[in-house]
Structure 1
């Protein structure tokens, strides 16, 4: 449930979404809620048919829904073909976080000499800004966050508490970095001499485009030579590992616990489900969707949906299938012999 810091009206809501509505234009709207929990001064939404059962009894001031469900709505309605997108747009109106920002540099923050600060910057308690950093207008650096030397952060980007941006990183406009993420740490580069490992200095950086979000405790490693590159409007969930010199194309989305090995290139408008793993030095073309827990070991050159994981089943059935999997090579050879004998006959 969300509440606005100031009152809006139903007319304001409709105008923000650019949709028509029925009902009292001056009805105060103070928040968003689910169909089941909404109060008479809140807007609810219906984006999943599983919750259609709650529509008839909702007490919301209005409901955002698809036109096909409009006739069943007992309260004023806001009709959109993509109500979930409408919900996303409305959520921005009720987000209290920007209202709480205190502009300026907190007394406990450490800002080195040679730092360039834009207008309306907020640097919160115990943050550290190293030399040569450039912060654009309206950047927020959360409490305990670190911005390494010579990094550049574009306007209206927000670092939540305890974010680490290492040296020489470039982050675009309107980015969101959630707590605990590390941008520009060393890539996993080592050479073995037969007895021990020797570290390879990671000489590249990280370049992130505009409107990128990185989830909590995710890591984007700096490049070994060139840069690791994250395109515009890329959305990265929590606990994602992106190795050195990876490239992620514009508008792609990576769900939780995705792991991408070094120098792999992911195209535009790709979606990687939770737990997906990509081997190194691969190319994934535009428009690829990989379902959860899949392992990709070869490049993908045709857009579409790809899977390699198998769904859960009873342990008894899984054990039987595991035995059969080990027998596949022998079965294939016997089948080939049978087909050969049939052709000979």
Structure 2
């Protein structure tokens, strides 16, 4: 069985799916849509026409300074949704697809592959197309689906897929109500899987100390995305005696506090090998936080920073509201909401470790059956 994966080589989930599909005997080929990273088939070939990443970062900073982030998100969304592959890219993609001749095509994630799915529907109509939605909307900020400026094009896009994987029951329900899917007979709710959980794996137990160790697993390039700038809560925790650990970046240098510590980013290989999970397991708590959130996306999409801690045995705490998708009881995390630093300290004192519920292996089994059948 051959499966073509359409995804970016710059996301951990791409390698999680490659690992999963290879484990069940599939021949896998990655069709990479990120022109800054090269592996397998890079069909976005017009490198010189692409805007370099440093320029993108500077533009984001300028828009943030003038409080125009929402406008920027809309413009980027519009550009990506209207962006068609060049004839050169289409020819390369067609050639490689016909040569590989896949039985299935798997897409990760959301609304990024409109040109690709249109092409595949024409040249390989017999192929089964599967998409993991993961996150929706990507950038656009709307309160209801009917206020989505790209409603019709998104609806047409999702209806082209034979099977759809949703991260939450609420998102599946929203897609059904909006007509993005005709029915749920060819859909499942199964959040992505990063960490393999083996009951024999030894997880370190957090030790009670005179201080509290807490780790934040999200993006720390705070100047690039407004929703990620949680520097205020980091400062508040550090000032209250927490030892806060965050991933090193250009912006972490600005947090010059004694109790703010940085760690080197883990590579995808290290994450898949369980090195990050082992590192997390030595902490008292994981901080799950955003500065601002889109309600639809926050409550119904499972984020990378949450899944990275899954299976670590360490409680997760958020200063935001607990995402509604937690009620689905599909993710092996124990998350609580805190409203003050003292409340957080009290919570940690009462709960240092979490009992595994083996939800990761259950999801993996469901996902494999869905892909195969």
TM-score by length of 2: 0.25
Instruction: Return the structure number with greater helix share.
Output: 2
The structure number with the bigger radius of gyration is: 1
Instruction: Return the structure number with greater strand share.
Output: 1
Structure number with greater CO (CA < 8 Å, separation at least 6) is: 2
